[in-house]
């Protein structure tokens, strides 16, 4: 039996009500991303980052796993997948039943926050209460007064070394690599499908729009992710 790795991007979550980033009308067409250095240097940027996060809270709070998430969770349970490497920050793979240890989050998770100095975890409800009590000012850590940020990876922020190592190990050990709902333009994460192909794995790309790696894929399916996985969900 072949054993695969699933690599997922924003496209797997759009049917769940979470907008993607690059498509027309996506988040980045409305708001330029806040770089990590700007977040650190400017309290005004920290305030704006949290304003944007809470503006998206309804979409994230209402989102439930879609057909793609459920199908991948099933494939994990059946032993057909060794793991899920995701660029997503919504936690929907875990919510679908995938064991957290089998989900490698390359870009972090937006469902909680951490202090960038001491690493203390904060739940979003606490951050929101403080944010609203201070008239839209980002709170500082109660432990060390450091900046509190959603547990996501921003532009310019170092990628999480343990997650990158685990993703690379899975990529090098699989014989089928499923790239699902990703534009495959954000590096270094987008390098994993290419690495899998170079190591002899079958590369399957499932995405609504063309990607830069379509030409080297063994199979390309251009369709809605939920429709593709509906028979397996």
Annotated binding site for Zn(2+): which residue ranges? 115, 118, 141, 144
Rounded to whole angstroms, the Cα distance separating 195 from 191 reads 6
Both tokens assigned to 48: 């704006």
Give the separation between CA 202 and CA 70, rounded to whole angstroms.
22
- 46, 67, 107, 149: which is the annotated catalytic residue? 107
The CA angle 35-214-74, to the nearest 5 degrees, is 80
> What residue numbers does the annotated binding site cover?
115, 118, 141, 144
CB-count exposure of residue 4 (10 Å: 0-12, 13-18, 19+): buried
Q: Which of 188, 198, 190, 122 is nearest to 161 (CA)?
A: 188
Closest CA relative to residue 50, chosen from 155, 154, 150: 150
3-state secondary structure of 200: coil
Cβ atoms of 9 and 85 closer than 8 Å: no
Provide the CA 174 distance to its chain's centre, in angstroms.
Answer: 21
Tokens linked to 205: 């790309």
Active site residue 69: no
Dihedral, 33, 123, 66, 81 alpha carbons, nearest 10: 90
Q: Which residues are catalytic?
A: 107
């Amino acid at each position: 039996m072949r054993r695969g790795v699933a690599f997922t991007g924003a496209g797997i979550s759009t049917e769940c009500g979470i907008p993607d980033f690059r498509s027309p009308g996506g988040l980045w067409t409305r708001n330029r991303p806040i770089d990590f250095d700007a977040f650190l240097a400017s309290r005004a940027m920290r305030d704006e980052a949290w304003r944007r996060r809470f503006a998206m809270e309804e979409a994230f709070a209402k989102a439930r796993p879609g057909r793609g998430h459920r199908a991948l969770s099933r494939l994990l349970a059946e032993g057909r997948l060794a793991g899920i490497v995701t660029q997503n920050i919504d936690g929907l793979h875990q919510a679908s039943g995938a064991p957290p240890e089998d989900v490698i989050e390359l870009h972090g998770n937006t469902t909680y926050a951490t202090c960038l100095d001491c690493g203390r975890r904060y739940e979003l409800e606490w951050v929101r209460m403080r944010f609203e009590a201070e008239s839209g000012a980002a709170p500082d850590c109660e432990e060390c007064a450091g900046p509190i940020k959603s547990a996501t990876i921003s532009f310019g922020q170092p990628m999480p070394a343990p997650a990158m190592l685990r993703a690379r190990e899975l990529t090098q050990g699989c014989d089928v690599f499923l790239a699902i709902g990703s534009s495959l333009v954000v590096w270094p994460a987008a390098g994993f499908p290419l690495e899998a192909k170079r190591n002899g794995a079958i590369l399957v790309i499932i995405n609504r729009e063309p990607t830069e790696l379509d030409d080297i894929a063994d199979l390309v399916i251009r369709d809605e992710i939920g429709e593709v996985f509906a028979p397996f969900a």
